[in-house]
Structure 1
Amino acid sequence: MSLIPTGKFLMGTALSNRDGGRDEYPERQIYLDAFDMDIYEVTNGRYLEFVQATGHRIPEHPRDKKLTLWQGSTVPDAFKDHPVANVDWYDADAFCRWAGKRLPTEAEWERAARGTTGRRFPWGNAEPTRTLANYLNQWRNGAGLEPVGSHPQGASQEGVQDLEGNVWEWVADWYDAHYYEKGPNRNPKGPTEGTRKVIRGSGWESEAPLLRSAHRLNSDPRNRNHSLGFRCAMDAVIGNVR
């Protein structure tokens, strides 16, 4: 995991910037306590350990099994280092709890991606290239997914990888299009209730404009999709190396 230190950062999109979606406004300064973020998205191999230990259901596309990398209750060695996909929010939450962690809040995710300087993308302000992230990929054996950590040049300020591209990522928060206008500026955790969950990042099918780290998306928490996965976070334990 990577330590994201206590401090402030810019979250959202400035009203003067017309590139953002309506739910990204306004840009505001947010304070967060220190936390740890997984450097990589959770892999099929790690998720398999969870399934075997708990009996939890396997990842599976709800309509087309060809969109699933797993074979029955296991996963081929060739795909164990790929990010797990076809998991809904409840699957992701259950895994993180089993691992002694939790899903990151939306604010934590954006802080990990944008750093302390308000980066447009995790790697900085340079426009995306295929060296920096797995996006605009084509369907092939194993979908368009790539092993985690395949684009180290696209790492964030603290070295978190694949925050853009590969798979979209579930976060903890319920979605509210107007939350930025009324949420707290200190350790925001999202609305207390809702019907849809926030998704952050972008996927292997995404076009370049979706790789902005302020971009927000939302989904039914029971959605399972071949380009939707997650990573975990936890409150910081200063001095421990994990």
Structure 2
Amino acid sequence: MSVAPESSAAPSVAATGTAYAPTARTVPTRSKKRAAYDRELVHSILDEAYVCHLGFVRDGAPVVLPTLYGRVGERLYVHGSTGSRPLRMAGEQDPGLPVCLTVTHVDGLVLARSAFHHSINYRSVVVHGIAHQVTDADEKRLALDALVDHVVAGRAADSRPADAKELAATAVLSLDLAEVSAKVRTGGPNDEPEDLDLPHWTGVVPLRPGYGPLVPADDLADGIEVPAYLRGL
């Protein structure tokens, strides 16, 4: 998965150093040794996933929505209908909508001898911050291109861009990568010493994402070849 390039249309958050600064909200209370703040690691986890979960509070109750996103430098973009809850709220509130955005990859099922020590190997990112509606036309187009290219790199240039009516029906939120942490678990089970002689299979079942054969649309015109960026998948 490639990342959309930096652009003057999307002001970049000042990225000092190679790591995000830990905060009270990004330091976990459990398994602190699994937490990481390295920018390259955070970016790689974000760039490899397709769906994030966006959490916010509405009328005093938590709401978490799955949605597509894209990254441009140190900024995430989340899209939705102009009538969706978070988009409306981000436009109504000043200085924006407090959110928590999460992304998770499950890399393996960890089967221990005891039920208590069963686990998963995973990579996750949690982003805290204030989401804002994107109102600048150039930044909005950049964000929508980034969202399309995040799904399949190269697709934005190989599709019709949104027209004025479609742009009016689509809203975009921006969220700066400032208060960010990653958390990773790798390796095998952590069984208790007294359980090592139990007669149960133990180990890791790896999980790996993959692509299936392409399925052309029923109305695809004859003679249109599969583009190189899709063959590369």
> TM-score, normalization: structure 2?
0.23
> TM-score, normalization: structure 1?
0.22
Larger strand proportion, structure 1 or 2?
A: 2
Question: Rg bigger for which structure?
Answer: 2
